Amino acid sequence: MKYVIAVDGGGTKTNVLCADENGTVVGTGLSGPTNLTSTSVGAASFNLREVIRQATQALPPETTYDQLVMGLAGMDSEEERQLAENMFSEVFSQFSVTNFTLVNDAIIALENGSDQPNAIIIISGTGSNCYGKNSAGITARTGGMDFLLTDQGSGYAIGRQVLREAVKSHDGRRSKSILEEMVLQHFKITSISQLKHKVYNPLLSKVEIGGLARICTAAYAQNDQAAHEIIHKAVADLFLMLKTLIEKLELEDQNFDCIFAGAVVQLPVIKDPLVEELTRTYSGLNLVFPENPPVNGALKMALAKLRQQ
């Protein structure tokens, strides 16, 4: 019996599946981040080693793994792929992995959501990314270059704007917003002047800032003007990412799958207006909301590579 390993290496957590050649899952694993832009090399290697150990512990120690496919968040260039390969190859060798492939996490998410030749995916969680392919074999991407350069329409972008609008409300630079009080409650402080110390704390992560998106949706439900502005901007940013990608791939008049992935893009206040705009604009659109997690896309790819050996 041959075995494969599938890895979804994110900026928040890492998921692993171990399966036999028939696709039967024999082990799973869950650990911390392996994204090299959100954690140290040492921590990423430790997390990867631990999560593979969990997924393979039911098999004999001498078991070899013919294919491993890892989707890695934040890996956007050949240089980054080479760096990740150098960092993780030692971990893979410890588990007797014969062949391994590293790809951007958007690719495994796309594979998880669609079997069609024309397919695109919009991912919005803590960060955001948009990736797709067409029947001519052309691939393209918009966004996906981390929080300083991109991540528009993401939880991080929404959370950062929540903080800014709360301060503007406090200053009087905008109409009063309930975001001001909600931010105080979230950080357990009594005045906006204390916010600077909380926000510029090096221990405050992108994930925690992205979590402020929940505050925004709560304020949105109470018809807060600032929250409405933030949500509308996020929807517009995500639509622009999709529209630009669709044009790059020349899918405007084609039938294509559009996959939604990530916690933020699944929020009704984001999803509903985005779906409405997309369906109004593209008649060939088929919306896909995957039931399985993206790591299943890595498993699908690993099994395909195994069959090609």
Q: How does DSSP assign 8-21, residue by residue?
A: EE-SS-EEEEEEET
Residue-level pLDDT at 68: 99
Query: Which pTM does this prediction carry?
Result: 0.92
Residue-level pLDDT at 207: 87
The domain locations on the chain are 3-109+293-308
Q: pLDDT tens, 198-217? A: 999 998 988 899 999 999 99
Question: Taking the CA atoms of the chain, what radius of gyration do you get in angstroms?
Answer: 21
Q: pLDDT tens, 249-307? A: 999 999 999 999 999 999 999 999 999 999 999 999 999 999 999 999 999 999 999 99
Which helix (DSSP H) or strand (DSSP E) does residue 125 occupy? none
Spatial distance between the Cα atoms of 286 and 134, rounded to a whole number of angstroms: 14
Fold adopted by 3-109+293-308: Nucleotidyltransferase; domain 5 (3.30.420)
The mean pLDDT values, 10 residues at a time, for the chain of 309 residues are 96 93 98 84 93 98 97 87 92 97 96 98 94 98 92 98 99 98 98 97 91 98 99 99 99 98 96 98 98 97 96
Q: Cβ distance 116 to 256 under 8 Å? A: yes
Residue-level pLDDT at 74: 79
Residue-level pLDDT at 276: 98
Q: Is 27 helix (H, G, I), strand (E, B) or coil?
A: strand
Residue-level pLDDT at 3: 98
Spatial distance between the Cα atoms of 24 and 148, rounded to a whole number of angstroms: 41
Residue 29, strand partner residues: 16
Q: Cβ distance 13 to 20 under 8 Å? A: no
Residue 103, strand partner residues: 71
